[in-house]
Amino acid sequence: MNALDLLDGCAAEQARPAADAQRPILRERGQREVFCGLTGIIWLHRKMQDAFFLVVGSRTCAHLLQSAAGVMIFAEPRFATAIMEERDLAGMVDAQDELDRVVNRLLERRPDIRTLFLVGSCPSEVIKLDLAKAAQRLGTVHMPRVRILNYSGSGIETTFTQGEDACLAALVPVMPALPADAPKELLIVGSLPDIVEDQFLRLFADLGIASVGVLPARNARDLPAVGPNTRYILAQPFLGDTAMALEGRGAKRIEALFPFGVEGTSDWLRAAAREFGVDPALTEQVIAPGRERARIALSKLRPQLEGKRITFLPDSQLEVPLARFLQNELGMELVEVGTPYLHRAHLARELESFGAQVRLSEGQHVERQLDRVRADRPDITVCGLGLANPLEMEGLTTKWAIELVFSPIHGFEQAADLAELFARPLRRRDLLEV
């Protein structure tokens, strides 16, 4: 029996009560079927327009990035892979030199790069390389023109949204300090499409919250300040390490639902407004038009989704708040909500509305989960790309989890688009059945 078998036998299938609620959680440990943290580069490089992501990896890593970001080939790319071929330990000194050469050449050719991320991956020759030291060494050489940071996107350590968490956590130590006597500032944490970010910034301006920072900033060089007077609000549920790093610098989290749908977005905005002492009447006045537009748009989609049974396989860490939205606002029935990692503190309020019949699972054992999907036969299963085709072949309707990360889905204006992402595969299924 190897270590994996042992873990597998001990931990899977055991339901244990969560510390914060008496809800049983099925813990799964086994084979995983998700993209690695390198995938986050696809949306992060669009967001941080003066940053460059240099993956230190293998041909597989280069291949993943090229195929996942196929459309970007026509644009001036802001990511690349430095391929580390197999080498023994004696060759590691050469590897460091080679990495230095690649970085120096890149920065010579691309004077527009202001922040360079060295992104680690899983091949053993990369694991042996100390990227933190390399970032420090190269950072000293290229200072102050370029800031050089590192994080890991390795599939051994990260699922695909954790790549963003690792990247943002790497930025926190270099954020400027907010002076102790500065007024309270709001910080939105999590990468959002620019259009959604602008909508939220407009709403916060209407609420009279004057000073609002965003992490990641569109220009990685314009990082917002952080300190004990920072109140941060998470826009994404997969940012545990970033939250911890911010708290290490004194920032305090604003507890709220995540801004999906009418309920989540209203709660998120109200929580921030309360923290900044905004008059509740003004808060309601500011959020009313968007809330009403979203409510009307969702009411048109509800008949297509109401009563439909849904299972989430663990993938993006968006599962819990999206399940809450689909259940509470569209009347869907949650069969199983699986997530790679359940952050109990960040998700406590999200879980409050889950009925006792909802099966909650954490971690992945792909075979067992697929068996449960086959037994449950939900109307729709949200899963990774690799599992979607086999399930469709078995007559089950699926939704690719990765689309939820690439699409604008936060906020009032996007609530109907989010619901539509689930309604479309069901419509397609109905048409095929006809």
Q: Distance (Å, rounded) from C-alpha 72 to C-alpha 126? A: 26
Structure-token match 């748009």, residue found: 297
Residues 117-136 that bind ligand SF4 (CB under 6 A): 121-123
Q: How far is CA 138 from CA 1, 101, 112, 150, 244, in A?
A: 44, 10, 17, 11, 27
34 binds ligand SF4 (CB under 6 A): no
Task: State the minimum distance, in angstroms, from the CB of residue 247 to ligand SF4.
Answer: 28
Task: State the minimum distance, in angstroms, from the CB of residue 290 to ligand SF4.
Answer: 38
Task: State the minimum distance, in angstroms, from the CB of residue 157 to ligand SF4.
Answer: 9
Q: Which stretch binds ligand SF4 (CB under 6 A): 53-61, 104-112, 218-226, 250-258?
A: 53-61
Question: Alpha helices of 172-279 — where are they, by DSSP H?
Answer: 194-206, 240-248, 261-275
Judged by CB under 6 A, the residue of 58, 339, 381, 397 near ligand SF4 is: 58
Asked if 224 contacts 203 with a C-beta cutoff of 8 angstroms, the reply is no
Q: Distance (Å, rounded) from C-alpha 272 to C-alpha 14? A: 38
41 binds ligand SF4 (CB under 6 A): no
Task: State the minimum distance, in angstroms, from the CB of residue 37 to ligand SF4.
Answer: 7
Asked if 116 contacts 139 with a C-beta cutoff of 8 angstroms, the reply is no
64 binds ligand SF4 (CB under 6 A): yes
Q: Which stretch binds ligand SF4 (CB under 6 A): 1-9, 56-64, 250-258, 313-321?
A: 56-64
Indicate if the alpha-carbon torsion angle 196, 199, 203, 209 is positive or negative: positive
Indicate if the alpha-carbon torsion angle 259, 398, 311, 390 is positive or negative: negative
Q: Which residue is nearest to ligand SF4 (CB)?
A: 155
- For the chain, give the number of residues: 434
Q: Which stretch binds ligand SF4 (CB under 6 A): 59-67, 211-219, 273-281, 414-422?
A: 59-67
340 binds ligand SF4 (CB under 6 A): no
82 binds ligand SF4 (CB under 6 A): no
Asked if 256 contacts 349 with a C-beta cutoff of 8 angstroms, the reply is yes
For 234-268, b/e burial (b = at least 16 CB within 10 A) is bbbbbbbbbbebbeebebebbebbbbbbbbbbbbb
36 binds ligand SF4 (CB under 6 A): yes
Judged by CB under 6 A, the residue of 57, 163, 224, 411 near ligand SF4 is: 57
314 binds ligand SF4 (CB under 6 A): no
Judged by CB under 6 A, the residue of 12, 25, 26, 38 near ligand SF4 is: 38
265 binds ligand SF4 (CB under 6 A): no
- The total of other beta-carbon atoms located within 10 Å of residue 118's CB is 26
Half-sphere exposure of residue 120: CA atoms within 13 angstroms, side-chain side: 23
Task: Provide the mask over 140-159, with x wherever binding to ligand SF4 is found by CB under 6 A and - wherever it is not.
Answer: -------------xxx----
Task: State the minimum distance, in angstroms, from the CB of residue 235 to ligand SF4.
Answer: 25
139 binds ligand SF4 (CB under 6 A): no
Q: Which two tokens stand for residue 316?
A: 């993006």
**Binding stretches for ligand SF4 (CB under 6 A):** 36, 38, 57-58, 60-61, 64, 121-123, 153-155
